[in-house]
Amino acid sequence: MADTDYTELILAIVALIISILAFVIAILQALQQYFASATGYSSCREAVIGKWAQFSHRRLLWKEFRIEVQFETPVLFVAKPENTRGPLGNDEDFPDEDRKIIRLDGSPANLKYTSSTEEFDEQQKKNKQQAVHTADNENASWCHLLMTIYQMEKDSRAWQKESLGYHPPFDPSPPHSLVVCMQRKKRVWDSMPQGLTKPYATTTISHLVEIAAMLGIHWKNFDLNNDRYRAQGNGYVLYGSYVDNLGIGFTFQKQGPTVFRQDRVIPTHDIKKLCFGLVPTILYREKLVDVDDHKDYATLQLGGYAEIADTLAEFGCDNNTINHFRKTPDSSRHSHLFPAVAFEILGMVGEIFHIKDTGFRMLPNPTPYYWESNTFSLSTLTSNIASRLKEAEEAHSLTSEGDHVSHLLNFYDQSTEKTERPPNGSINTQTSATTPAHRIAHLRAGVELCDRYLDDVDIGMVFQVIRVHIQEVLAMLNEKTSSDDLAGPGLANEGRRCTISISDVDSASVDEKHRLLTQIYCESIRNNVIQTVYKQRSQYSQKTSAEMADSEPNVKRDINMIWCTLIFRMLYWLQLHNFHKKDIQIDKGDAYDSRIPVYIL
């Protein structure tokens, strides 16, 4: 009997153990299924989204008895540092500091959201060991984008401090007026589109174009109709296409060496328009209201041949001039030493984008022409024009002691700039070379000197001079008759014609090109502009013939001063600013200020 009871006890214990094990296994299976409901949590770890993993967590949904994965990703936009309005709300709407706008300005506070300097340096060491660096496909590409923006600000600020002795934008002067900002957006994995395995950042197509420009990335393909996009430059590449169930998706990859120093784009808010071929100008003053039927010249379009033609039409150029941009590029010439019309307009009336007391000079190219500065020297051209105008001042009556042309020539004499020529005889104008701070200050002062004069003169006459100058330049570039027909009789050289044509410039040596072009500009174009503008103003003047004859010398002198001022402004402006040699403007349609959302994967 005792043996039977003992056997039953053993069996009961074994049964209990088996039952407990079965219960534990059932519990574990239930927990496994429960935790498995946290879909996407593995895609929100640090290996995928970097330091943004700290904002990822799982939340129990009791009603559904499952776990919901919550995470945060950035919404990127470009704005002024003092801006408090964001796409997710204004700063005053959020009592929590973490909800407010975050500025990627290279400050230590940015390291909460992007890789540290040590991590970046370690990544750079790996890059040096490889001919081409391939990004880790496990990592979301927007994490690399944030790190790149941070490093761009940090490196350029360090270069600025090293070269000029201060550290913007932390110092009150000089101010930066452009910075990449972001806000943290809460998301749940349940709302992720099917097929996506990583969290994505959000921005708009216009802000992405601006961010690319700030990083030195140039667009090669921008097809809004077929959703095909590619941009490349400074060691990075951006690819974009349509993603099912999402929209336009972009990936950001590193493909080569990167430099963020003096070649960073000038951090001023006005460059946003340049990214789309729009040029803010100095022609926004109130006195423009009654000029040419209330047209708005505050912003000019130079982003394509058709846009340039429209701009010339707004300036009132004749059809022959406008048609040079209606034709195919191969059938009409637009360049001499550099693309003439677009960059001359840019230099004559473009705003000063350079920030005072800074060394940054690079701008997004708003024109469809390459800026090949290694083939010419603006400083040499400036020197030649100054010398030619000094000769004219001494020999003729178009200038007088104390007038503005004399001020410009005296200002130029104060410059210590020298034209550097390497041993092979070509002009050395490498855009990557650091421009001395005193030279930058002198160039800016030259532009400001011209602006002060243009602020006080007849704005209608300024428009006429620009209009006729453009017509004369394009006529000279596309002249098919003999060189003797290039110019009518000049003022400073009455009775003789300029016998130099653009073909002479083409066939000349590197050094001789600048002298010949100077001669064409100062002897032919300048005199033709003075004659034509004076004739046009005489036709519509209400003065009598006798009064016009008495005022002729003064009117022609005013026209000459405006032309000389615009030429000097153009030369100083183009030296004060710079463009990357591989950057040109391609048609971006209606992307400017567009709020079409795009996603960085």
Q: Is position 5 within any domain?
A: no
Contact 548, 392 (CB under 8 A): no
Q: Is the domain of 232 the same as that of 345?
A: no
Q: Is the domain of 292 the same as that of 382?
A: yes
Which residues face 231 on adjacent strands?
Answer: 219, 238
Which residues face 61 on adjacent strands?
Answer: 66
Q: Is the domain of 150 the same as that of 249?
A: yes
Q: Is position 2 within any domain?
A: no
Q: Is the domain of 255 the same as that of 331?
A: no
Give tens-digit pLDDT for 503-517.
888 898 888 999 999
Query: Greater confidence, 500 or 577?
Result: 577
Q: Is position 117 within any domain?
A: yes
Which residues face 90 on adjacent strands?
Answer: 85
Q: Is the domain of 81 the same as that of 222?
A: yes
Instruction: Give me the phi and psi of 546, to 5 degrees please.
Output: -65, -40
Q: Is the domain of 82 the same as that of 100?
A: yes
Q: Is position 365 within any domain?
A: yes
Q: Is the domain of 368 the same as that of 247?
A: no
Q: Is position 118 within any domain?
A: yes
How does 490-505 read in b/e, with b if 16+ C-beta sit within 10 Å?
Answer: bbbbeeebbebbbebb
Which residues face 201 on adjacent strands?
Answer: 600
Q: Is position 20 within any domain?
A: no
Give tens-digit pLDDT for 361-414.
999 999 999 998 888 899 999 999 999 988 877 666 555 555 778 888 888 887
Burial class (CB in 10 A: 0-12, 13-18, 19+), 217: buried
The two tokens of residue 472 are 């004369």
Cα distances (Å, whole numbers) of residue 361 to 172, 266, 439: 20, 6, 12
The two tokens of residue 596 are 């079409």
Instruction: Give me the phi and psi of 179, to 5 degrees please.
Output: -155, 150
Q: Is the domain of 302 the same as that of 236?
A: no
Q: Which of 539, 533, 536, 529 is nearest to 474 (CA)?
A: 529
**Bond prior to 257 in cis (omega within 30° of 0):** no
Is residue 137 scored above 70 in pLDDT?
no
Cα distances (Å, whole numbers) of residue 288 to 295, 407, 459: 8, 26, 7
Q: Pick the most confident of 163-172, 292-301, 309-318, 328-337.
A: 309-318
Query: Greater confidence, 42 or 226?
Result: 226
Q: Is the domain of 537 the same as that of 501?
A: yes
Q: Is the domain of 304 the same as that of 249?
A: no
Contact 233, 217 (CB under 8 A): yes
Pairwise CA distance, residues 106 & 156, whole Å:
9
Burial class (CB in 10 A: 0-12, 13-18, 19+), 438: exposed
- Residue 597: enclosing H or E segment and its boundaries? strand 597-600
Query: Greater confidence, 266 or 64?
Result: 266
Q: Is position 341 within any domain?
A: yes
Residue ranges of E strands in 244-333: 247-254, 278-280, 299-301
Give tens-digit pLDDT for 259-299.
888 889 999 999 999 999 999 999 865 444 444 444 556 78
Pairwise CA distance, residues 388 & 188, whole Å:
70
Is residue 573 scored above 70 in pLDDT?
yes
Q: Which of 276, 262, 446 is nearest to 358 (CA)?
A: 262
Number of domains in the chain: 2
Q: Which of 523, 455, 456 is nearest to 489 (CA)?
A: 523
The pLDDT score that the predictor gives to residue 127 is 54
Q: Is position 36 within any domain?
A: no
Q: Which of 32, 34, 33 is nearest to 60 (CA)?
A: 34
Lowest mean pLDDT among 13-17, 251-255, 430-434, 592-596: 430-434
The pLDDT score that the predictor gives to residue 116 is 65
Residue ranges of E strands in 440-577: none
Query: Greater confidence, 418 or 17?
Result: 17
- Write out the residue range of the structural domain in which residue 205 sits: 43-267+589-600
Tell me what the mean pLDDT of segment 453-477 comes to.
93
Contact 207, 76 (CB under 8 A): yes
pLDDT band at 117 (very low <50, low <70, confident <90, very high): low
**What is the number of H-type helices and E-type strands within the chain?**
17, 16
Is residue 591 scored above 70 in pLDDT?
yes
Q: Is the domain of 245 the same as that of 286?
A: no
Q: Is the domain of 379 the same as that of 414?
A: yes
How does 388-406 read in b/e, with b if 16+ C-beta sit within 10 Å?
Answer: bbbebbeeeebbeeebbbb
Q: Which of 553, 574, 566, 576 is nearest to 525 (CA)?
A: 566
